[in-house]
Structure 1
């Protein structure tokens, strides 16, 4: 039978979500946000965390009531119709060419420091990362969750070491004064910072594999978001104190810079290991969720097709290999294009925020009582963040519009037949 195994426990669920939310974001977003808003980025982090809480709680309610590998697309189907479901499903998959290669590139940057001279090539490091991702995914959700829990502990230890060695005190924790001029830089920073909390919608695809989704899935989301939010804020405090921001080099190298400043060059190897592990963990869950999205669509519409096949370990094997192939091609394109990291992040964020918007819209229709009004608040907050994205939101709207048109043509053909 083509069914996924229920192997995810509460602890491994928290480990998977927290490492996914921290992963690549921790090694680039605090420095990028500080470059945009300076010390005001501390306020931006607090505002983002306040905004993400109702969104996370709404996802928790949806995942508790509708645990399915289809994630947001499945929620949309329950609330609206299959045509909109397919559009949202492929909208999520469309993040592969713009979002995932940026994350893999960051992971490869750390891996490159660990490779011998003969293999010290950036594109090769990216392709090795893709192969490792596919290998871990094919092992199954249980093994993947255990690995990510270990990685989560190492990330917390690294940030804790920075706080201790950096002698962060009360003065460093003082929030800057807000003025009328603070609104624009905080809003601009939020547009980039939302990347740090994309992962909740990907985690929704794992609900079907929880041993006890009704109890553990909501707790994993809430605890994972809280842990990630506190870690981001603490990291930003250290980056601001040591001025590890303000240049393109710092966008992806603020953490290595801090490690060298606080611990010396000998600490560089350890940071490279932790950095690669953290970025790998983040991309790992996205690889899982993307393959499960493809598998869920195949199970729904082509149950006898190759993409609906599940391995003996309960893994959608062909969907996973297909996603891996697309990732490899996207990495090659990303390397040849020469476009910078922030450009790809903004495009990817626009897709993620639109997916969140659709999830909150579905929640408003599906949920009842207080949960319904919580979904309404989340919908308003997602709309605000979407506006903060500026020009990049047009990318997501264009992709979504094309998918809807394609879905309309598909429906017409089905009727004619």
Structure 2
């Protein structure tokens, strides 16, 4: 078998993207944003959604015209050349040691609360999370899509229950009057909130597995972004109403605190389970996309290698297992090195934004008409965000620079010199 199975439907695609965009963000970012901008964070969510629309639309146009498991790397190849494609592919893979283990650690934090005392440790929880990721991925895209759709519905139900039990009224959703001073706080909040929509680039790797990519892929991106944006905004309304922000403890515990206030202590385990499911859903799509990136590169350049093979379920099983080994090693290093989790996340964010930027640059060259100018506007937005990353963008630039060097050419020249001597 040399082709991935086309099993993703429109509904499962929406479920996968929306849960990926929500992921860990729903349990942290609304409270953090409220702490920065207060009630003006409601405006910030609206501004963010409007800003992300052109980027989402551009990814939708690229995925519609070029559905491929290579994702952004494949778009770059179509626009430029194979050498740059390899650099982008391995740039995306370089997020494994910094970004994915950090997300796994966040998911494991929720899982620990569900484990018995004998297994209640961070490393055990992380190992179990990786094992579950492998199991779900090897089961196939269809099963994974169904699981993430169920998780998405559970998240929406939780936010709806908050609105119902919290007795949200018209006055609670009234947008505050904008002032000159508020613009600064909205801008500061946007710097944090942008990461809630990091995940679209990973979803681009799934385009080849849609049953009808030309029709369903762009619709899934647009609806998935809208659903995630609306959920974040609705959650922020409840957080503002009950003032579950402004203290360090609320940055990661606003949702459990709200649940306890509205439903009582008995819902604590349920919220922990939902928190793990939301974080797991986010990491799951990245695991899928990364394994498909590795498989797509192997299919293109080493078709006889084990990484280029698919299982009977049409899944890049060997690439998934290889990825799992790297994840376990990265989790061990992260656990015993004592490096700050926030540090890893900032490094990963630099890679994600650079991947977005390169995708928009490719779209500006590949697309025509209104889509081309939309890609140009999105490119400007990505450049602005990348500059705002400050020191954390250096990791992405360093990795990309090293990957872009002509290593193959130098190796051939060295080999020729040795043979001649």
Tell me which interval the TM-score lies in, with the shorter structure as reference length: over 0.9
- Where structure 2 has 5 or more consecutive residues not aligned to the other structure, the ranges are 417-421
Shift of 1:242: 1.9
What does residue 51 of structure 2 align with? 51
- Verify the 8 A CA contact 1:298 1:307 in the aligned structure 2: yes
> In 2, distance between residues paired with 1:132 and 1:297?
25
> Compared with structure 1, are the counterparts of its residues 388 and 42 closer, same or farther at alpha carbon in structure 2 (3 Å cutoff)?
farther
> In 2, distance between residues paired with 1:19 and 1:27?
12
> Larger Rg: 1 or 2?
2
What does residue 175 of structure 1 align with? 175
What does residue 154 of structure 1 align with? 154
What does residue 280 of structure 1 align with? 280
What does residue 409 of structure 1 align with? 407
What does residue 5 of structure 2 align with? 5
Shift of 1:266: 0.5
3-state secondary structure, aligned to 2:178: coil
What does residue 140 of structure 1 align with? 140
Shift of 1:87: 1.1
- Tell me the number of residue pairs that the alignment of Structure 1 and Structure 2 aligns: 415
- Verify the 8 A CA contact 1:173 1:237 in the aligned structure 2: yes
> Compared with structure 1, are the counterparts of its residues 175 and 343 closer, same or farther at alpha carbon in structure 2 (3 Å cutoff)?
farther
| 1:272-324 CA-partner distances (Å, limit 9, x unpaired) | 11111111111100000000001111111111111111111111111101111
> In 1, distance between residues paired with 2:205 and 2:181?
40
> In 1, distance between residues paired with 2:103 and 2:94?
15
Shift of 1:409: 2.2
Shift of 1:414: 4.8
> In 2, distance between residues paired with 1:310 and 1:52?
35
- Trace 1:14-413 onto structure 2 (pairs within 5 A): 14-405=14-405, 408-413=406-411
> Compared with structure 1, are the counterparts of its residues 40 and 249 closer, same or farther at alpha carbon in structure 2 (3 Å cutoff)?
same
Shift of 1:172: 2.0
Q: Indicate the larger mover: 28-37 or 254-263.
A: 28-37
- Verify the 8 A CA contact 1:89 1:293 in the aligned structure 2: yes
3-state secondary structure, aligned to 1:248: coil
3-state secondary structure, aligned to 2:243: coil
> In 2, distance between residues paired with 1:184 and 1:414?
54
> In 2, distance between residues paired with 1:359 and 1:89?
12
> In 2, distance between residues paired with 1:383 and 1:187?
16
| 1:163-189 CA-partner distances (Å, limit 9, x unpaired) | 111122222222234333334433332
Shift of 1:339: 3.8
- Verify the 8 A CA contact 1:190 1:388 in the aligned structure 2: no
- Verify the 8 A CA contact 1:192 1:349 in the aligned structure 2: no
Shift of 1:239: 1.6
> In 2, distance between residues paired with 1:197 and 1:224?
10
Instruction: Quote the RMSD (CA, aligned, Å).
Output: 1.6
> In 1, distance between residues paired with 2:157 and 2:310?
37
> In 2, distance between residues paired with 1:390 and 1:174?
35
Shift of 1:415: 6.9
> In 2, distance between residues paired with 1:32 and 1:343?
17
| 1:98-142 CA-partner distances (Å, limit 9, x unpaired) | 221221112111111111111111221111001000110000100
Q: TM-score, length-normalised on structure 1?
A: 0.95
| 1:30-80 CA-partner distances (Å, limit 9, x unpaired) | 122223333332222111111111111110110010000000000000000
- Where structure 1 has 5 or more consecutive residues not aligned to the other structure, the ranges are none
> In 1, distance between residues paired with 2:246 and 2:409?
50
> In 1, distance between residues paired with 2:259 and 2:10?
32
Q: Indicate the larger mover: 148-157 or 341-350.
A: 341-350
